[in-house]
Amino acid sequence: MTRESRQPVDEQDADLQGAIGQGATVEQAAAERDDLYARIIAAQNEIASLAHDPNRVIEAVIGRAQELTRSTGAAVEIVDGDDIVYWAACGSASGQVGLRLRLRESLSGRCIAENRVLRCDDAEHDERVNLEACRRVGLRSMLVTPLLHEGRPFGVLKVMSPFPFAYRERDVRSMAMMATLVGAVLGHAIRYSDLLDEYNHRVEADRSEARRREDSVEAVRALIRDHGIDMVFQPIVALDTRRIFAFEALSRFPGDALAPDAWFARAAGVGLGLELELEAAALALDRLDALPHPYRLSVNVSPDTILSPAFDALLARHDNARLMIEITEHTTVDDYRRLRERLAALRAKGVLVAIDDAGAGFASLRHILHLDPDVIKLDISLTRGIDGDTRRQTMVSAIRAFAAGTNATIVVEGVETEGEQRTLLGLGIEYAQGYHLARPARWCDVAASLGVAAR
């Protein structure tokens, strides 16, 4: 038998008499009641003021309901066909958003069917409730109030407690008073179908994002585990003689679905950016010892990788005096002082520091100003069509002048035509790379061209 069946139902103010019976004066009990009504009115005013924003209405509803009834959790549940779904929750129920129950097997479903506030004093001994769900949520007692729009229930407002017999008659009245306004405000803010559409869209988006993240983690880990990255090497040459200065190691990934930059961004998005960069750097550096003097090897890394102890340990196994590190343009730097100190230690070992993709965005300019690079690599966006574009020519000339004043060397990327090469030579550019000069090649072909063994 529930407490509800033992509670007097014909008293005008059972709570007032109960308070007096517990030792309170009539004045104290009346003051407590008046304070409760004042808080209910304040809650209703707050909810009404947010009527233009359904999400804020719901947040205010569950927060105020939990406070007014001294509950540990509260939730708004929405009817979806034969189910009722936790749409929003706070407190101890906050982790249950998305929980779906059959209407006919829950107290919420009965509340909607009977269109009245229902109270459960002890879920362990109340056959109306879904006991498994109650245990999952961690509740022993609850109040469930129908939410109505145009006289029809579309959901419930629920408060809960981990303790049995947590609610009194005044809590029942408080919930009923709140629900009257809440249902009207929610119903006018958004139609029931819109609410469900938004809920289903949000749930599906969350599921899709979780699946995408899991797929990305597995794909990146498989690449690292199976050493699935192919390295190709593109020469950096003197524009006038085409003498090779260095070889840039470039990552190539299986399939054509994602470009290399997208793969590294994908790895960074699931917390595996450092691991994938270290794998690519290790595969590139594996060829450094076989690369004959005086050629350098250029490797692309982010600031986070440069600062990592794992990258330091990787470099310790190779000849740093013939290494160039290209810092990617699109990577932000939070601590330039620490990065400068690390780069200074690498320079002391003979490493050249290059800023990659200069001119493609503001980040590259910050890198140039803060890191004092040995090499500035101009992005292909400045090179493409430069022979017919005076603005690009002016920009490249300005960067070249800046580089000359700071003892930096300019390398232009993306030279693809004879006209671009002639124009860059006329602007005083010494080094470049691009398909017109030499395409990226596998190590076996590079080794053959240099007359060394392709181990």
Residues 18, 95 within the same domain? yes
Which CATH number is 443's domain given?
3.20.20.450
On the question of pLDDT at 20 being above 50, the answer is no
On the question of pLDDT at 52 being above 80, the answer is no
Looking at the domain assignment, is residue 219 inside a domain? no
Which CATH number is 67's domain given?
3.30.450.40
Residues 248, 383 within the same domain? yes
**Mean pLDDT over residues 103-124, rounded?**
93
Residues 231, 374 within the same domain? yes
Residues 442, 372 within the same domain? yes
Q: What separation in angstroms does the CA of 126 have from each of 53, 212, 340?
A: 37, 42, 68
Containing 6, the helix (H) or strand (E) segment is helix 3-6
Query: What confidence score (pLDDT) does residue 181 get?
Result: 65
**Confidence band of 205 (pLDDT split at 50, 70, 90):** confident
Query: What confidence score (pLDDT) does residue 30 get?
Result: 55
SS3 326: strand
Looking at the domain assignment, is residue 199 inside a domain? no
Looking at the domain assignment, is residue 65 inside a domain? yes
Query: What confidence score (pLDDT) does residue 50 get?
Result: 54
Looking at the domain assignment, is residue 265 inside a domain? yes
Q: How many domains is the chain partitioned into structurally?
A: 2
Do 326 and 377 form a contact (C-beta atoms < 8 A)? Answer: yes
**Mean pLDDT over residues 245-266, rounded?**
88
Structure tokens at 167: 């609610």
Question: 320: buried, middle or exposed (CB in 10 Å: 19+, 13-18, 0-12)?
Answer: middle
**Mean pLDDT over residues 74-97, rounded?**
90
Looking at the domain assignment, is residue 427 inside a domain? yes
**Mean pLDDT over residues 158-170, rounded?**
93
**Confidence band of 185 (pLDDT split at 50, 70, 90):** low
Looking at the domain assignment, is residue 212 inside a domain? no
Residues 107, 254 within the same domain? no
Q: Among 3-17, 27-41, 197-211, 219-233, which range has the highest average pLDDT?
A: 219-233
Query: What confidence score (pLDDT) does residue 418 get?
Result: 94
Domain end point (choices 167, 190, 213): 190
| Cα(306)–Cα(281) distance, integer angstroms | 11
Looking at the domain assignment, is residue 367 inside a domain? yes
Domain span at residue 390?
Answer: 227-450
Residues 376, 432 within the same domain? yes
Residues 153, 276 within the same domain? no
pLDDT tens digits along 413-448: 999 999 999 999 999 999 999 999 999 999 999 989
**Mean pLDDT over residues 33-50, rounded?**
56
Q: Which residues, in sequence order, are bridge partners of residue 327?
A: 301, 355
Looking at the domain assignment, is residue 221 inside a domain? no
* 3-state percent helix, strand, coil for the chain, nearest multiple of 5: 50, 20, 30
Half-sphere exposure (CA, 13 Å, Cβ side) for 440?
A: 11
